[in-house]
Amino acid sequence: MELMVSTFIVLFSVIDPVGVAWMFASMVHGVEIKQQRRMAVNATVLSSVILIIFFFTGTVLLDWFGITIPAFRIAGGALLLLLSVEMVFARQSGLRSTTSGEQQEAETRQDISVFPLAFPLLAGPGALTTVLLMTSSSQDTVVFWQMFAVLCLVLIITLISLLSAPLLSRMLGETGANMISRILGLLLAALAVQYIIDGIKTSFNLVS
């Protein structure tokens, strides 16, 4: 149960459905509600497919590149730690945001469900790293499917947040969204450090 809760916090913090919903609302301002909902559904489905593929093939990818689980935990923890710092200071990290050129390109598109909504805002490097960390931590079959249930729960919450984007944007505003992001960033920082500590401990155990 403790593992599921910590995994939920990490994945929810990295994907940040509330923050993404606020950005989505600002990007589709003036677009018909029907089209907004279609983009929200399409983006969630596409990002879900990407994350689920990584979930089921994560350990295979690590084996393919010859990367040990402890090494990936240390690297993944460091990556999530950088992301958490950006969240605490309410800055747009390169892990979840777009470059200025990409943003200009997105503004000219009528459909942003694929880019930048599905990737990199939802299924970005941080989320993909978290999914791989989830699979590397779930050696037991029961735990594996529990982790999958957590992933599905976060994706469902993400869809609900995107569909409610106009309402959330009015209720929270930029200040409210940043406040939630800071709280989640603090939790993510602690869990990221724990990933690094666990990876170092496991590495020493393997060496000894």
Span 20-55, pLDDT tens digits: 998 899 888 788 999 999 999 999 999 999 999 999
Show the tokens assigned to 54: 């990584």
pLDDT recorded at residue 149: 96
Classify residue 96 by its DSSP letter.
T
- The answer to whether 26 and 166 are in contact (CB under 8 A) is no
pLDDT recorded at residue 90: 73
- Per-residue pLDDT tens digits for 112-156: 899 889 988 899 888 998 898 888 766 688 889 999 999 999 999
**Cα separation of 132 and 195, whole Å?**
12
pLDDT bracket for residue 99 (50, 70, 90): low
The stretch 4-30 carries a mean pLDDT of: 89
pLDDT at 202 over 90: no
The residue that leads in pLDDT, 91 or 175, is 175
Q: Which residues have C-beta within 8 Å of that of residue 19, sequence separation ≥ 6?
A: 177, 180, 181
DSSP H or E run through 78: helix 69-88
pLDDT bracket for residue 185 (50, 70, 90): confident
The stretch 70-74 carries a mean pLDDT of: 88
- Per-residue pLDDT tens digits for 147-164: 999 999 999 999 999 999
**Cα separation of 208 and 200, whole Å?**
12
Q: What is the pTM of this model?
A: 0.82
pLDDT bracket for residue 109 (50, 70, 90): low
Classify residue 97 by its DSSP letter.
S
Q: Name residue 112's amino acid.
A: I
